[in-house]
Structure 1
Amino acid sequence: MMYLMFGFWSGLLGLSMSFIIRIELMNLNNNFNNNIIYYMMITIHAFIMIFFMTMPIIIGSLSNWLLPLMLMSSDLMFPRLNNFSFWLLMPSLMFMLLNMLLSDNIDTGWTLYPPLINQNFFTLNFIIFSLHLNGLSSIFSSINFIVSIFIINNNNFFLNNLTLYIWS
C-alpha cells in the first residue's frame, strides 16, 4: 500500500512538472529564459514518471501486494527486504530533486551524459547515485516477488494453473 501512495505522490509531482513543461511549450522562452533549466526539467520529469511512479506501482505494489492476494498465498517471503526496497526510494527521489536544484548543465533532455569535461561532478554523482538506488530498490522488490511466487504454501497450487495476467 505504501508503494501505491508513493507512486501516486510521484505521479502528482510528475504531473505538475508536465504542466510546467506544457505552459513553456505554449509560449516559448517566456517562462524560462534558460533552455538548460527547461531541458533538465524534461529529463527529471521522465525519470520521476518512469522510476518513481511506474516501477514502484507495478513492481512494488501490484506484484508484491496484489498478486499474493490474488494467489491466496501467504504474505511476502522477505517482508524486511520489501521494506528496505521501499525506503530506498525516498533518498533516491531526494537526490534526483537535489540534482535538479544544484545542477546547471547536466541534463540536455536527450541524453543524461553530455560531454563530461564541463560538468560539475558533484551534481553528476547525485543523478548517478539516485538512479543506482532506484535500480537497487527494483531489484530487491523483484527478488522478493520471484521467491514469494515459487515458495507458495498452497498444496493445490501448480504453476501451469496460473492465469496469463499473473505470468506476465
Structure 2
Amino acid sequence: LDHKRIGIIYSIMGLWGGLMGLSLSFLLRLNFTDPYYNLIGPEVYNYIITGHGLAMIFFFLMPVIIGGFGNFLLPLLLGMPDLSLPRLNALSAWLMLPSVVCFGISLFIGSGVGWTFYPPLSSIPYTGVGVDYLMFSLHLAGLSSILGSLNFITTIFSSIFSQLSSRISIIIWAYLFTSILLISSLPVLAAAITMLLFDRNFG
C-alpha cells in the first residue's frame, strides 16, 4: 500500500469514528432539550459522555489530521515518493480498525465512567468488561499513533538532512513537533491505562 491509500484508510476510519462521536453528541443534546425529563438513564449518560470524548479525540481528530492529511501532505511537500517506512505505515493504519471496533463494542456491553477515568474504575458499578474493551481500544489507538509518529519523524529527518532546513515548510515542522509530543506523551497514557487494568482485574 502506498501513502495515498493508507491516507484514505485513515480518513475512512476517522470518518467512521467522527460519525460515532457525532451520534453520541446528538444523543447528549437531545437529552438536554427538556430539563425536567431525561430521555436516557444516568448509566447510559455516563458511557455516552465517555464515548463522545474519546471518539472525537482518538478516533476522529488524530486519524484524520495526523494519519490522513499527514500521509497525503508529507511526501508531497517533501518531494518524496512515499514515507520512509511504508510497512510500518501500513501496520499503524490497520491497527486503527480493531481499535475502532473495540471502542464500538465497549459502548454496547458495559457502562461508561463519565468525565473521569480513574476514581470510579475499581468500584462495584464499573466491574463489567465494557471498560476493559475501552482500555484495550485506547492501547491499540495509542500504539497506532506511536508507530505513525515514528514514521513521520524518520521521514522528516531523512528529508531535512538531504536539503536545507530553511526550505522546509512550516507545516512539516508542525508535524515533526506534534509527532515528538505524541511519542513523549502516549507512553505515559499507556502506562496509566495498564495500571488501571491491573488495578481492576488483579488489585
> Could you tell me the TM-score, scaled by structure 2's length?
0.74
Change (3 A) 1:27 1:145: same
- The letter for the 1-side match of 2:136 is F
User: Which of 1 and 2 has higher RCO (CA within 8 Å, sep 6+)?
Assistant: 1
Determine whether 1:112 maps to 2:117.
yes
Taking only aligned residues, the RMSD between alpha carbons, in angstroms, comes to 1.9
Superposition deviation, residue 112 in structure 1: 1.9
**Distance in 1 (alpha carbons) for counterparts of 2:78 and 2:121:** 49
Structure 1 counterpart of 2:28, from 6, 11, 21: 21
Q: Which residue does the alignment assign to 1:40?
A: 47
Q: Which residue does the alignment assign to 2:3?
A: none
Percent identity between matched residues is 39
Q: Tell me the matched-pair count.
A: 164
Deviations 1:5-53 (A, max 9, x none): 2212221221122111111111244321x11101210110110110011
Q: Which residue does the alignment assign to 1:73?
A: 80
- 1:1-168 alignment, distance < 5 Å: 1-28=8-35, 29-32=37-40, 34-104=41-111, 106-108=112-114, 110-113=115-118, 114-118=120-124, 119-120=126-127, 122-152=129-159, 157-168=163-174
- The letter for the 2-side match of 1:164 is I
Instruction: Tell me if structure 2 keeps the 8 A contact 1:64–1:141.
Output: no
**Distance in 1 (alpha carbons) for counterparts of 2:51 and 2:26:** 14
Task: Give ranges in structure 1 of 5+ residues lacking alignment.
Answer: none
- The letter for the 2-side match of 1:127 is L
